[in-house]
Amino acid sequence: MAEKAKAPNGKLGVMIVGLGAVSTTFITGVMMTRKGLAKPVGSMTQYDKIRVGRGADKKYLKYKDIVPLADLNDIEFAAWDVYPANAYESALNAEVLKEKDIEPVKEELIKIKPLKAAFDRNYAKRLDGDNVKDAKTRWDMVEQIREDIRNFKKESGVERIVVLWAASTEVYVPINEKVHYKLEDLEKAMKENDVENVAPSMCYAYAALKEGAPFIMGAPNTTVDIPAMWELAEQTKLPIAGKDFKTGQTLVKSGFAPIIGTRCLGLNGWFSTNILGNRDGLVLDEPANFRTKEVSKLSTLESILVPEEQPDLYGHGNDEDTQYYHKVRINYYPPRNDNKEGWDNIDIFGWMGYPMQIKINFLCRDSILAAPLCLDLVLLSDLAARAGRYGTQRFLSFFLKSPQHDYTEDEVPVNHLFQQYVMLKNAIREMGGYEADEEID
């Protein structure tokens, strides 16, 4: 499947679901960077260097010198949101960036007026915006979103489009084999308006793929993490990626757990708690929405520190005494707004079973960490499409909290940050026409 990526032609349209804190921080940052007024810190595509070649041919190059990435100047933005505020107003409302970092691109931001969102209150009860499509059925929702994508392409003159979900976490949708396993069953459910099994986000993903746009799921929603969507991605020959931006606590976990594992220390328990106060926090205050997030945050550790592989080290802690105790909590705390705080308490043990503790306190800024991920995921999904890669893009796991994998075949996702980084580097090498020469051990 290794194929060199074709050069981009024309402009790249980026259509974002949700025009909240993350999206406006991402859009504003790209615009400020284009003007030379800010630096895209945290973006792998803009800063990271990868080795290509070996021995005398060895070089360390930035991604753009290995693969034909879209240029930041060639990006045009559009968005959907339940609130009608334009990108400038939304950026001010989000209170992530200072006014001095928004004002220089005010004119550009004002032009981004959100399209009406395909929305169902039952999937995010805490949101009450009225900039919403009047859709009779889920299929009607799909048709309206497809029309939005076609209109944006026509009006903006972009050649290619990527659709990115940066909206709130939806209520947890359990995977239903009767609806989610086959594409024809999913389409039937959309037409029959099965609102229990078809989330609005699935309508966005379906519409994007049908209109030739790669789709990225930046929340923990089930959306493209179902065989029916994999089938559609195969059929349309388009990349999909998900799920959930790996920003704060899970980034720490996927990078720190390997320290415990590599050093062969034992783990009794890992307790993670967060406070945050933005719209994301508000939505996650609803238990059904938190459930979606919890599933995504819990999965990271279990595939890095595996009890079956090292029972002496990881086979303790729970009541059943089969594994360490792992707990994740998120608390809505409005005074913090976008500045979330993550605490990790890690109970480990060493030589002869003597206990020790590690405490990590990460005072992070959610959107400041998520914005560069948005940029990287968009540019790399566009690149993957031009390299003829389709279906789940496992090489993008590095950016995602709960990487998609084929659970129908019992595939275990790679959550180990440094193994994910090797997957990313190998894919970039391949798409640049070099050998994918690093092994994941």
pLDDT tens-digit profile of 82-96?
A: 999 999 999 999 999
Radius of gyration, alpha carbons of the chain: 21
Which residue(s) pair with 358 in the sheet?
A: 346
Q: Which domains does the chain have, with CATH numbers?
A: 12-245+367-431 (3.40.50.720), 249-363 (3.30.360.10)
Q: Please tell me the distance from the alpha carbon of residue 414 to that of residue 401, in angstroms, as a whole number.
A: 11
Where does 181-248 have alpha helices with state H?
A: 183-191, 200-210, 227-236
Query: Which amino acid would we find at residue 337?
Result: N
Q: Answer yes or no: are the C-beta atoms of 50 and 429 closer than 8 Å.
A: yes
pTM (2 d.p.): 0.94
What pLDDT, on the 0 to 100 scale, is given for residue 297?
Answer: 67
3-state SS string over 403-414? CCCCHHHCCCCC
Q: Which residues contact 407 (CB under 8 A, 6 or more apart)?
A: none
What pLDDT, on the 0 to 100 scale, is given for residue 321?
Answer: 59
Query: Which amino acid would we find at residue 367?
Result: S
The residues of the chain scoring below 50 in pLDDT are 1
Sheet containing strand 115-116, edge to edge, reads 115-116, 75-81, 12-17, 160-165, 215-217, 239-242, 391-392
What pLDDT, on the 0 to 100 scale, is given for residue 262?
Answer: 95
What pLDDT, on the 0 to 100 scale, is given for residue 239?
Answer: 98
Q: Please tell me the distance from the alpha carbon of residue 17 to that of residue 218, in angstroms, as a whole number.
A: 10
Q: Answer yes or no: are the C-beta atoms of 90 and 27 closer than 8 Å.
A: no
> How buried is 349 (Cβ within 10 angstroms: 0-12 exposed, 13-18 middle, 19+ buried)?
middle
φ and ψ at residue 341, rounded to 5 degrees = -130, 130
Do you know the residue count of the chain?
A: 441
